[in-house]
A and B are shown apart, each in its own frame.
Chain A
Amino acid sequence: MDLLDEQDSLGQVKHVVLVLSGKGGVGKSTMTTELALALRHAGKKVGILDVDLCGPSIPRMLCVGQQEVHQCDSGWVPVFVDSSKSLAVMSIGFLLENPDDAVVWRGPKKNAMIGQFVSDVAWGELDYLLVDTPPGTSDEHLSVVENLRKHKLDGAILVTTPQAVSTGDVRREITFCKKIGVRIIGIVENMSGFVCPHCSECSNIFSKGGGEDLAKLTGSPFLGRVPLDPQLGASLENGQDFIKAFPESGTFAAINSIAQAVVTSTEAS
């Protein structure tokens, strides 16, 4: 591919934001999906690039699992979630014949795939491209940052759960961001407290406040906390738009304010 093509694929994308976490299962994909939906709700055109090659979750969360990727002159056409084409998705999940197929790849193949994802997808005009990553600080992360830096990269959102076992891993991710020069937009504390639907007692299943403490400790902005909400989990299982289904919930308000903070932070930079 020549240089001109590369410039084209992300040429009309205004902001690129990474969603990172050192720890797995803290809700990176959930947060990416919900932020994308919240940004779309605010009238933005959004794209999601899922670079978790061994465990792509985004297609399932947006209920676009059985789609196929088509090719056009300017590259691969992302999958659009709705007819208004305001939310585009690209994931390795679309390239698998069987959803249970395992992608057993070592680093170099993953890097090549990510390189293609960054340079060969015809995103068109987007306000935000959110990049969902696997846990860790390894091949995928280095490759995606390397490839995106040629174009633009506004910064990274770090997701953690409140318990020390998780914030410990996210601390390492912060070091990773500092080392490779990625700006930290902020830290989100997910799964913060669970309100029992039977008696309204709030249990801190994974402790509480760890994300905020981490933000203070490392001098990073704290974007907010999202409670554990079985409704949110259920809506992702079914691929529903949580923001449309439960506009009254406290979780919705939390996600919305985080989305607002991301918009303010990226537009200021």
Chain B
Amino acid sequence: MSAMSVRSDVPSNAPEHCPGTTSDNAGKGSACQGCPNQKICASGAPKIPDPAIQVIKEQMVTVKHKILVLSGKGGVGKSTFSAQLAYGLASDLSNEGVFPVGGVAGSLALSHWQPSMLTPGEPLCHSLMGVVAPVQQAFQLSHSTGERGQRWFNQNSSLSCPLSRSDPWRCGSGLTQVALLDVDICGPSLPRIMGLEGEQVHQSGSGWSPVYVEDNLSMMSIGFLLSSPDDAVIWRGPKKNGMIKQFLRDVDWGELDYLIVDTPPGTSDEHLSIVQYLSAAGIDGAIIITTPQEVSLQDVRKEIRFCQKVKLPIIGIVENMSGFVCPKCKNTSQIFPPTTGGAEKMCADLNLPLLGRVPLDPRIGRSCDEGRSFLSQEPDSPAAMAYERIIQSVKDYCSHRSRTHGNAD
């Protein structure tokens, strides 16, 4: 058997030596004789990029940083990590905020911001600062009135909008705006992890409204579009791709500092699509999650290859489920033993940064099942501290990147 090719642009009904629909020889090669797609290929139509890519680019102008969370292996904690990353970034009050100045998203660090930077006629953001805090408290109260209150709060997104989206009100709050996008179409776990099961997406004039976890933390998942927890999404690739396109193009994300995209395991349709659709808008980078054992690392190496192939920068690797400290005797056990040196050795071999190690902690799984933030529940646990360090590295990476690449992208 010869090596397998990695072409993604070869139709299933194409002959064996198909040059690929995007190649220069498409429709012209000797292998194309008799292929049912020959006419379309020869016309050059498949070479034209999807017009949605440009639309998504315009839609994403207000999103500062786009981060993918990837892993070749399933069940290593991608969704858990995405959730903690979102909570961690959103709870940061001191960070740079996005200021809607003159209708265009300009951004600057809060510490450098001065009232004189506002264009005349714009609402005076800073004078509202005193007003925002009590209103926010009122909203938090409605959060704490339990599920019904929360539901009311989320459904009345027109009420939550002034605080959380492109409105002058929010710019005084200085909160980091974070959104989570779950592109795991067949196994969406984030709605449960974020405590949003049973929520529904509402449509407005500007598109689908994401579901709000907190004022500055929104999310979108196919889980919100299912009517029952038994519903299975039995879709082949093209339908999944269409859904991902809609999530990027038709969701009214508003102004965001971070968009975190949680992906399913593998290197297939969902991954190619998200990278392709965001190609014009630009992705800051990918965080790759692994567990310490070789069975997981071997799949993660494939994911790294994938990133290199599609020219996706890698922010770093996170080793999850790294050792378990017995709550009774405090001894550490390696449940998933790093027989080949774990993520550390892989990172050294491949010259990639290791962002950190997160130990196994039964409380992480429990807070995910209950839909609560582990970071705020157990802030002093070693796992939470490991998360905090990783989140800080991600922030540093992004701010460094926006300095070196300019704010235009």
Please list the residues of chain A having a beta carbon within 8 angstroms of any beta carbon in chain B.
Answer: 22-26, 29, 53-55, 57, 60-61, 68-69, 71, 92, 94-97, 99-112, 134-139, 141-142, 161, 163-166, 168-169, 171-176, 179-180, 194, 196-199, 201, 203-207, 228, 230, 233-234, 236-238
**CB pair B369 A142 closer than 8 Å:** no
A55-B302, A171-B230, A199-B329 in contact; A102/B73 too (CB < 8 A)?
A: no
Interface string of B335-364 (1 = CB under 8 A from A): 111011000000000000000000010100
26 residue pairs of the A-B complex, CB under 8 angstroms, read: A25-B296, A54-B72, A54-B266, A60-B295, A94-B1, A100-B305, A101-B6, A102-B267, A102-B302, A103-B267, A106-B268, A107-B238, A112-B12, A136-B186, A138-B237, A161-B75, A168-B229, A172-B231, A194-B335, A201-B327, A205-B362, A207-B365, A230-B333, A237-B293, A237-B295, A237-B339
Hey, which chain B residues are within 8 Å of A172, CB to CB? 186-187, 229-233
Which has the most chain A C-beta neighbours within 10 Å: B73, B266, B360?
B266
Q: Contact at A55–B266, with CB atoms within 8 Å?
A: yes
Q: How far is the CB of A9 from chain B (nearest CB, A)?
A: 17
In the complex, which residue of chain B has the Cβ closest to the Cβ of A140?
B268
In the assembled complex, B403 has its CB within 8 A of some CB on chain A: no
Selected contact of A95 from candidates B1, B360, B369, CB within 8 Å: B1
Q: In whole Å, how far is B302's beta carbon from the nearest beta carbon of chain A?
A: 4
B335 touches A24 (CB 8 A): no
B267 and A104 contact, CB distance less than 8 A: yes
Task: Give B residues with C-beta under 8 Å from A.
Answer: 1, 3-4, 6-8, 10-12, 72-76, 79, 185-187, 189, 192-193, 229-238, 240, 264-269, 271-272, 291, 293-296, 298-299, 301-306, 309-310, 324, 326-329, 331, 333-337, 339-340, 360, 362, 365-366, 368-369
Give chain B residues whose Cβ lies under 8 Å from the Cβ of A141. Answer: 234
B366 closest partner in A (C-beta): A207
* Contact across chains for B267 and A54 when beta carbons are under 8 A apart: yes
Taking A57-B298, A230-B335 as given, write out 20 further A-B residue pairs in contact, using a Cβ cutoff of 8 Å, ordered by the A residue number.
A23-B75, A24-B76, A24-B264, A25-B76, A61-B295, A99-B298, A101-B3, A102-B72, A106-B8, A109-B10, A137-B232, A138-B186, A138-B235, A196-B328, A198-B333, A201-B328, A203-B327, A205-B335, A207-B366, A237-B294
Residues of B near A104 (CB, < 8 A) are 6, 8, 267-268, 271-272, 306, 309-310
Option from A169, A198, A230 in Cβ contact (under 8 Å) with B189: A169
Q: Which of A53, A138, A171, A196 contacts B234 (CB 8 A)?
A: A138
Minimal Cβ-Cβ distance residue in A for B230: A175
Q: How far is the CA of A233 from the CA of B338 in the complex (A)?
A: 10
Q: How far is the CA of A126 from the CA of B271 in the complex (A)?
A: 37
| Given contacts A138-B237, A173-B232, A196 and B331 within 8 Å (CB-CB) | yes
- Contact (Cβ within 8 A) B187 A135: yes
Determine the chain B residues whose CB is within 8 A of the CB of A68 once the complex forms. 1
Q: Could you tell me the distance between the alpha carbons of A134 and B236 in the complex, rounded to whole angstroms? A: 14
Chain B positions within 8 Å of A136 at CB level: 186-187, 264
Cα of A166 to Cα of B231 in the assembled complex, Å: 15
With both beta carbons as reference points, the residue of chain B lying nearest to A218 in the complex is identified as B230
Chain A residue, CB-CB nearest to B233: A137
Q: Is the CB of B229 within 8 A of A163?
A: no
